[in-house]
Amino acid sequence: MISQDVIHALYIPALRIQMDTIPGRYTEMWFKADKAGSFHLFCSEYCGTDHSEMDGTLTIMQPADYQTWLTHAASSQTLVSAGETVFQSYGCSACHRANSTVKAPSLAGLYGKPVPLEGGGTVIADDSYIRDKILNPDAQKIAGYKQTMPSYEGKIPEDDLIRLVAYIKASKDSAHD
């Protein structure tokens, strides 16, 4: 999770968990949904004027219900599909697509894998890694590739960046094959 403006926190009292969302870095939270139902969720880190109206509902459904909901109600774009548009519009696809003339690493199936670094060692490609690589590609150079990618720091607005990371996370190996 990440924030595009101030520090917030996602708080789900029924699950007895919360985690801050901080601008500029990713935080994680997980839970095992073992009971269907609707539960309150709040922002628990004071975030400004309408802090107390920043709430919502967590809906946990049975898999079958969820499929029905997906086909009937999910009209709006998901984060991932919006991210795909961003991926095209910033020209990421020019280099990172599978058969590009520029020798850039493929991003399909990257998420969660270890990446070998120039000068030895590896790093796990998590959310923060992908984000940092977009903003500051000169750091943590990848073994076997010439570093030519420009920095996108200050060029991609925060919301687009979040969509982009979500898209890269979701790119599966199958897209590549």
Partner 1 sequence: MSDRAAIGVELAEQFTDVAQQRRAATLGMWSWLLTELLLFAALFLIALVLRILHPDSVREAAHHLKFWIGATNTAVLICSSLTMSGAIVTSRLGWQRAMVRCMLATAALGSLFLVFKGYEYYQDYIEHMTPFLAWRPYELSGDRASQLYVSLYYVATALHAFHLTTGVAILLGLAWQARANGYLQRHQNRIEIYGLYWHFIDLMWIMVFTIIYVMNR
Partner 2 sequence: MTDVAMRERTPPPATLDRPLDYLHDAHTLRSWLFTIDHKRIGILYLIAITAFFIIGAVAAGLVRLALVVPDGQIFTNDTYNKLFTIHGVVMVWFFLIPSIPATFGNFLLPLMIGAKDLAFPRLNLLSWYVFMTGAVFTLATVVIGGVDTGWTFYAPLSTTFSNTWVVPALIGVIVVGFSSILTGLNFVVTVHTMRAPGMHWFRMPIFVWTMYATSLIFLLATPVITMALILLVMERAFGIGVFDPALGGDPVLFEHLFWFYSHPAVYIMVLPGMGVISEIIPAFAQKKIFGYKFICYATIGLASITFFVWGHHMFVNGQSEYASLAFSFLSFAVAVPSAVKVYNWTATIHKGDIHLDTPMLYAMGYIGLFVLGGLTGLFLATLAIDEHIHDTYFVVAHFHYIMVGGTMLAFLGGLHFWWPKFTGRMYPEVWGRISALLIFLGFNVTFFPQFILGYLGMPRRYHVYPHEFQLLNILSSAGSTILAVGYIFPMIYLLWSLWFGKRAPSDPWNAKGLEWTTSSPPPKHNFIVPPIVDFEPYDYPVKAGESV
- Residues forming contacts to partner 2 in the complex (CB under 8 A) are 5-7, 9, 11, 13-14, 16-20, 22-28, 40, 42-53, 153, 158
The answer to whether 117 contacts partner 1 (rule: CB under 8 A) is no
Are the CB atoms for 91 and 97 separated by under 8 Å?
A: no
37 contact choice in partner 2, partner 1, none (CB below 5 to 8 Å, kind-dependent): none
50 contact choice in partner 1, partner 2, none (CB below 5 to 8 Å, kind-dependent): partner 2
Comparing C-alpha atoms, which of 119, 160, 161, 109 is closest to residue 141? 119
Q: Is 162 exposed, middle or buried (CB count within 10 Å of its CB: 0-12, 13-18, 19+)?
A: buried
Q: Considering the complex, what minimum distance in angstroms separates the CB of residue 153 from partner 1?
A: 6
User: Quick one: 65 or 138, whose CB is closer to partner 1?
Assistant: 138
102 contact choice in partner 1, partner 2, none (CB below 5 to 8 Å, kind-dependent): none
Residue 84: strand, helix, or coil: helix
- Both structure tokens of 65: 């219900």
